[in-house]
């Protein structure tokens, strides 16, 4: 009769064989913490917003123009039964957008009392940055952006500004849309 091997001994033999074969594999010693956000381009500048600040991303919807509002308020759109004000961020910052319409996107903010769609030049998708690449020292940017930018992530000599939509939502000039 054949001698039976105890299951625990069999597992130990298997573990030993795996360790011998894994000797040549590299070990992963460094784990870097990353920050993720929604990347977009505004006035030619790459920017990123925290994931929690943007509730939805839309193609530029059809909207109805509103009378007696500032030029940067495009109008109001019906999005699934809710009226969404559409604001052109480039115009708000006195800049022009050269992006074609099919490239432009609307970042929807739905927080507290504010429900608004912010029209940006281009969506860059989800961005991931090592936390260590964050800097509070800002590169040369337009002066109008400064109150709404909290820092930048720098990768391969490209600075992605961290845009703070909460600061924009509290800004009285942004909230005052009437002429």
Q: Which helix (H) or strand (E) holds 159?
A: strand 158-163
For residue 104, the model assigns a pLDDT of: 94
For residue 5, the model assigns a pLDDT of: 83
Q: Which helix (H) or strand (E) holds 8?
A: helix 7-21
For residue 157, the model assigns a pLDDT of: 82
For residue 158, the model assigns a pLDDT of: 86
Q: Name the nearest CA neighbour of 60 among 44, 81, 74.
A: 74
For residue 168, the model assigns a pLDDT of: 94
Q: Which two tokens stand for residue 5?
A: 């091997």
Q: Which two tokens stand for residue 163?
A: 């845009």
Residues of the chain whose pLDDT is less than 50? none
Q: Which two tokens stand for residue 164?
A: 């703070």
For residue 98, the model assigns a pLDDT of: 75
Enumerate domains of the chain plus CATH numbers. Answer: 36-175 (2.40.50.180)
Convert the pLDDT of each residue in 47-85 to its tens digit: 999 999 999 999 999 999 999 999 999 999 999 999 999
For residue 20, the model assigns a pLDDT of: 82
For residue 2, the model assigns a pLDDT of: 62
């Amino acid at each position: 009769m054949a001698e039976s091997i105890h299951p625990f001994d069999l597992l130990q033999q298997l573990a030993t064989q795996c360790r011998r074969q894994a000797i040549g594999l590299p070990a992963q010693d460094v784990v870097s913490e990353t920050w993720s956000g929604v990347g977009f381009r505004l006035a030619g500048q790459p920017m990123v917003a925290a994931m929690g600040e943007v509730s939805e991303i839309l193609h530029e919807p059809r909207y109805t123009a509103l009378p007696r509002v500032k030029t940067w308020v495009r109008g109001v759109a019906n999005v699934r039964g809710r009226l969404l004000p559409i604001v052109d961020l480039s115009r708000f910052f006195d800049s022009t957008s050269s992006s074609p319409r099919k490239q432009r996107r609307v970042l929807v903010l739905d927080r507290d009392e504010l429900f608004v769609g912010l029209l940006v030049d281009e969506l860059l998708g989800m961005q991931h940055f090592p936390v260590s690449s964050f800097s509070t020292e800002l590169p040369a940017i337009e002066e109008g952006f400064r109150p709404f930018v909290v820092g930048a992530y720098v990768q391969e000599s490209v600075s992605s500004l961290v845009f703070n939509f909460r600061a924009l939502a509290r800004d009285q000039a942004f909230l005052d849309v009437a002429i």
